[in-house]
Amino acid sequence: MAHTPTARMTNPAHVLAGAGPAIQSLVEATRQGGVDESVLELVHLRASQINSCGFCVDYGVRSARRNGVADEKLFAVAAWRETPYFTDEERAALALAEAATRLADVSDAVPDEVWDAAADHFDEKQLAAIVLMVAVTNLFNRLNVTVRQPAGAGF
């Protein structure tokens, strides 16, 4: 029998006045950087996988599909290095997303080689959008994991 988890509380972004709209404004700002929506979707999904945020992985897959990300990419994003489905640009964005999400894993969390590879494909405004998407995703992950927001619950 399937276990249906329940959240510990209402998402904090909904409890505190102004938090939800402020976070949504940050998400909207990522769309102003000129990065293809599918790249932002992949970045969101990969960071959410790393952080084991079931809600954000579920939401991210659904959103990515709506934005035209092919199923083979969605099925393989956790193993993007070992699959042929991703462009060099997507690979650079995914590497940056992973490094910026795993800050505590190594002393030089975002090494020059990762940054430089991303900078080879994205200009400063685009890099800002990717970095902001990673940061906002990590915020979402921490909110949802902490309160045990169940996947498929809507936001």
Structure token digits, residue 132: 């902001």
Give pLDDT tens digits for 120-140.
999 999 999 999 999 999 999
CATH of 34-147, one of 1.20.1290.10, 3.30.1360.20, 1.10.3720.10, 2.60.40.60: 1.20.1290.10
Contacts of residue 99, Cβ cutoff 8 Å, sequence gap at least 6: 109, 110, 111, 114
Structure token digits, residue 137: 């995703």
Cα angle, residue 57 at apex, residues 34 and 13 outer, rounded to 5°: 80
CA distance 37 to 28: 11
* pLDDT of 4 strictly over 90: no
Contacts of residue 26, Cβ cutoff 8 Å, sequence gap at least 6: 132, 135, 136
Q: Where are the domains of the chain?
A: 34-147
pLDDT band at 111 (very low <50, low <70, confident <90, very high): very high
